Amino acid sequence: MSKRKLTKQQTWRIERIQKERVERTQKRGDIAEELLQSSDLGSETEGIIISHFGTQVEVEGTQEPFIGISTRCNLRANLGQLVTGDKVVWRPKQNEGGVVVATTPRHTSLSRPDMHGRLKPVAANIDHIVVVIAAEPVAHANLIDRYLVAAETVGIPRHIA
């Protein structure tokens, strides 16, 4: 059976959509680079990503004067995929917010397959996994097993409560 061919209009539309996506990505990267080069950024400090919002992350400071303070930060385009738990280097802006400029290597990473079968990181730098199951509603039969197998595979200490 032969492959189905796209019409000229379909091909043109796909190319246009891809071009628009590339331009949007470059524009986001330019904005982050502009923020990084601007003079209203403070000195570099360390932090941990506590939540992820697509093109922005929430970073909790781990160095003075930002210890325990969470800040919404933009990402540099060349950082790769960051997840909750990643340790990063970021620069605060004068008013509010900041820019993540670097990341440190992960010592553990919990991953799951995406729609295409490639492993996608979900969380990083995990010290312990605590599985807590309530009596009601009844959990799926193999849910605890899946958590325990995932923890064992990565080598993370696990506890059941």
Residues 45 and 116 in one domain: no
Domain at 61, CATH number = 2.40.50.140
pTM higher than the cut 0.85: no
Q: Determine the Cα–Cα distance for residues 82 and 104; give it in Å rounded to an integer.
A: 11
Q: In the 3-class helix/strand/coil scheme, how is 26-64 assigned residue by residue?
A: HHHHHHHHHHHHCCCECCCEEEEEEEECCCEEEEEECCC
**pLDDT of amino acid 60:** 92
The CA-atom distances, in angstroms, between 19 and each of 11, 31, 75, 77, 93 are 12, 18, 22, 17, 31
Residues 139 and 80 in one domain: no
Residues 87 and 153 in one domain: no
Residue 2 lies in a domain: no
Closest of 84, 161, 83 to residue 129, by C-alpha: 161
Q: How big is the CA angle at 123 (ends 93 and 160), to the nearest 5 degrees?
A: 130
**pLDDT of amino acid 32:** 67
Which residues, given as ranges, of the chain have pLDDT below 70?
Answer: 1-3, 29, 32-40
Residues 134 and 71 in one domain: no
pLDDT tens digit string along 102-129? 888 889 888 888 898 888 888 999 999 8
Residues 85 and 146 in one domain: no
Domain that holds residue 49: 8-103
Per the CB < 8 A criterion, the answer to whether 159 and 128 are in contact is yes
Residues 126 and 66 in one domain: no
